[in-house]
Amino acid sequence: MSLNTDLADLFAQFAAIMEIKGESPFKAIAFSKVSRILKDMTFDIRKVCEEGKIGEIEGIGKSSCAIIEEFVRTGRSTDFDEVAASVPAGLLPLLDIPGLGPKTIALVWKQRGVTNLEELVKAIDSGALAGLKGIGAKKVESIKQGIALRSQASQRLGIGEAMPIAHGLVERLRQHKDVAHAEIAGSLRRKRETIGDVDLICALSPAGSGPAVSAAFVQFPEVQRVLGQGPTKASVLTAGGLQVDVRIVPAENFGAALLYFTGSKDHNVKLRGRAQDAGLTLNEWGLYRVSEYDKAAKKTAEAPPVKPVASRTETDVYKALGLAYVAPELREGRGEVEAAVAGTLPTLIEEADIRGDLHSHTTASDGSATIEEMAEAAMARGYKYLAITDHSKSQVIANGLTAERLLKHAAAIRKVSDRLRGITLLAGCEVDILADGHLDFEDAVLAELDIVIASPHIALKQDADKATDRIVRAIENRYVSVIGHPTGRLINRRAGLPLHFERVFKAAAQTGTALEINAGYPRLDLNDVQARGALDAGCWLSINTDAHATDQLGSIGWGIDVARRAWASAARVVNCLSEEKLLEFIRKKRSE
Ligand SMILES: [Zn+2]
Ligand SMILES: [Zn+2]
């Protein structure tokens, strides 16, 4: 489906360039609509083209069809290339800066001659943007923040981008005849939300050759540039500029290498400390007795010539250190080694524990599937319940529902639910938390629903006091069962509300309001540290995908990753409850 994404990006850029140029606004609107259609499409555009059915898709006009067909055939669009060439090339990357839209870019270009990022930074620093209509001090400040976010983002890639690339490479390694097994290591294995580079560890089969594996690795199709290559390691850049390092070790040292290169540094320091206390030493090759190790050569380029106490698997090493196995997501030096000693590590939540999704959208607002289609997709995942929570009226761009439409929609949801066996649909709503904490619907309307999620979508630059008052106020509404994406942040793109979390957690725990880990990438909101804070404060969590299309229900795994990093067990997540218990949870708050 990456062709769909590529085309969606092309149309979005097309629309933006036309807006920058200030020509044919209707075409710009049409193109951005095509971009959205392509993004939400659940079928492969190439197939549609090949079947000659592209003209049948609603909302894609003639000129867009021609562009799509050419792109499918040749991988480019002459129309786009022509339009792109008519504005300075340095303006296009500016579109990626959060808070900087085509209108502003057009202004700084036409009025101040800015043609690239460097000139924009200079113009901001020298105050040259002063006096531009619509660009006040506040706007300049937000552009500045956007540039800072962007430069951070360019150094660290989101897990959602990095994981598929790493998976592809590790799968190829596993297929090599000289490889016994291969795993992703590093922060990616720990499921951190952003990563600097990818580490892969691969164990040789008994007669396997390191140089052969290394040589094959640098030839993989994802590889753009080779940074280094030797008999036991190789380092490359992939097409997207992601650095990937592979280390090739004998199978008997695999566990120790995987442990060492998975990190984190803090976790490894604790493990080494524990080894030392026991007269042992731990390195990337294995766990050794100090007395024997010190006599042997201390070259780290190859395995030391003494027999390790443990090295083949991670479990072996932990066991030899007197510890239970520590899941990679916990290895952050946040108390997990102490818990492993005490035997108090949590039983972490797994994807199979999820019994339903409490946050999803349909064509009634800005989703791309009907009630039935979403229900069937949820059933196919083995879910027992699905809450349909379309947007409320303030979300005009998202086709938010008026109270009247919402109640009709709820009736339609219940009708489908009655007809289906094996799954219950909850008629709900994702009601906007307005800037002052009021909700977008009266209580009398919310009372008609089975479940209410309240989420912030607008005014995400409030100060901490205001933002906290706002969210706490929403929590205090008896009809609100879940706070959706509580901060509104987007990884690498938007910082979100700077909440005083202790106050939010306290209110949520007291009222029995679940806080969401929004699993939709790039939200992942709450993040790992916040979610752990919520658990420590006694809050319930809810892990939801916020699916706007049937296949997006599958993104629950990103949320599970965050929850595991937060030490969450299934017992603390409301959508791991049985339907009966979940409804009881909702009722309890409403009756208090
Ligand atoms: Zn939302
Ligand atoms: Zn939503």
Could you tell me the distance, in angstroms and rounded to a whole number, from the CA of residue 409 to the centre of ligand 2? 16
- Amino acid identity of residue 309, one-letter, is V
Tell me which of 240 and 420 has the higher pLDDT: 420
Residues in the chain: 592
Tell me which of 214 and 39 has the higher pLDDT: 214
Structure tokens at 197: 């580079």
- What's the pLDDT at 301? 65
Crossing angle for the helix pair 464-475 and 501-511, nearest 10 degrees?
10
Structure tokens at 153: 């983002």
The bound ligand whose nearest atom lies closest to the alpha carbon of 456 is 1
Structure tokens at 455: 């989420």
- What's the pLDDT at 269? 95
In whole angstroms, give the CA distance from residue 263 to residue 504: 32
Could you tell me the distance, in angstroms and rounded to a whole number, from the CA of residue 418 to the centre of ligand 1? 27
- What's the pLDDT at 515? 98
Structure tokens at 84: 């792109």
- What's the pLDDT at 281? 94
In 3-state terms, what secondary structure has residue 509?
A: helix
On the question of pLDDT at 295 being above 90, the answer is no
- What's the pLDDT at 153? 59
DSSP string for 349-377: --GGG--EES-B--TTTT-SS-HHHHHHH
Could you tell me the distance, in angstroms and rounded to a whole number, from the CA of residue 359 to the centre of ligand 2? 6
Distance of CA 440 to the CA centre of its chain: 27
What band does 172 get if pLDDT is binned at 50, 70 and 90?
very high
For residue range 86-102, list pLDDT tens digits in order: 888 888 888 878 778 88
Residue corresponding to tokens 């086709």: 399
In whole angstroms, give the CA distance from residue 528 to residue 309: 34
Provide the percentage of residues in the chain whose pLDDT is more than 90: 69
- What's the pLDDT at 484? 98
- What's the pLDDT at 300? 59
Could you tell me the distance, in angstroms and rounded to a whole number, from the CA of residue 547 to the centre of ligand 2? 7
CA nearest 357: which of 559, 72, 513? Answer: 559
CA nearest 36: which of 520, 556, 406, 549? Answer: 549
The bound ligand whose nearest atom lies closest to the alpha carbon of 454 is 1
- What's the pLDDT at 206? 94
- What's the pLDDT at 152? 64
Ion ligand 2, residue ranges at CB < 5 A: 430, 546
User: Is 374 in contact with 362 (CB distance < 8 Å)?
Assistant: yes
Q: What is the mean pLDDT of residues 461-487?
A: 97
The bound ligand whose nearest atom lies closest to the alpha carbon of 485 is 1
- What's the pLDDT at 241? 80
Tell me which DSSP letter residue 90 carries. Answer: G
Q: What is the mean pLDDT of residues 118-143?
A: 87
The bound ligand whose nearest atom lies closest to the alpha carbon of 395 is 1
Q: Which of 65-79, 91-105, 315-329, 496-510 has the weakest average pLDDT? A: 91-105
Helices (H), 494-548: 501-511, 528-536
On the question of pLDDT at 1 being above 60, the answer is no
Could you tell me the distance, in angstroms and rounded to a whole number, from the CA of residue 407 to the centre of ligand 1? 19
Could you tell me the distance, in angstroms and rounded to a whole number, from the CA of residue 430 to the centre of ligand 1? 7
β-pairing, 451-455 vs 424-432, is parallel
On the question of pLDDT at 154 being above 60, the answer is yes
- What's the pLDDT at 296? 66
- What's the pLDDT at 358? 98
The bound ligand whose nearest atom lies closest to the alpha carbon of 357 is 2
For residue range 346-373, list pLDDT tens digits in order: 999 999 999 999 999 999 999 999 999 9
Phi and psi for 502 in degrees, rounded to 5? -55, -40
Burial of 418 (0-12, 13-18, 19+ CB in 10 A): exposed
Could you tell me the distance, in angstroms and rounded to a whole number, from the CA of residue 455 to the centre of ligand 1? 6
The bound ligand whose nearest atom lies closest to the alpha carbon of 359 is 2
For residue 228, the cross-strand partners are 235
For residue range 365-415, list pLDDT tens digits in order: 999 999 999 999 999 999 999 999 999 999 888 899 999 999 999 999 999
Could you tell me the distance, in angstroms and rounded to a whole number, from the CA of residue 477 to the centre of ligand 2? 19
On the question of pLDDT at 261 being above 70, the answer is yes
Structure tokens at 277: 């206390």
Q: Beta-carbon neighbour count of residue 3 at 10 Å?
A: 17
Q: Which residues of 392-401 are buried (b: 16+ CB within 10 A; e: fewer)?
A: bbbbeebbbb
- What's the pLDDT at 299? 56
Could you tell me the distance, in angstroms and rounded to a whole number, from the CA of residue 40 to the centre of ligand 2? 14
Residue corresponding to tokens 């949801």: 413
On the question of pLDDT at 476 being above 90, the answer is yes
- What's the pLDDT at 162? 93
Could you tell me the distance, in angstroms and rounded to a whole number, from the CA of residue 411 to the centre of ligand 2? 20
Burial of 503 (0-12, 13-18, 19+ CB in 10 A): middle
In whole angstroms, give the CA distance from residue 93 to residue 275: 50
Phi and psi for 182 in degrees, rounded to 5? -140, 145
Distance of CA 223 to the CA centre of its chain: 24
For residue 287, the cross-strand partners are 282, 310
What mean pLDDT, rounded, does the chain reach?
92
Structure tokens at 395: 């979300």
The bound ligand whose nearest atom lies closest to the alpha carbon of 366 is 2
What band does 493 get if pLDDT is binned at 50, 70 and 90?
confident
Distances (CA, A) of 179 to 2, 120, 163, 209, 216: 29, 50, 21, 9, 11
For residue range 543-568, list pLDDT tens digits in order: 999 999 999 999 999 999 999 999 99
On the question of pLDDT at 288 being above 80, the answer is yes
Could you tell me the distance, in angstroms and rounded to a whole number, from the CA of residue 590 to the centre of ligand 1? 22
pTM summary value = 0.79
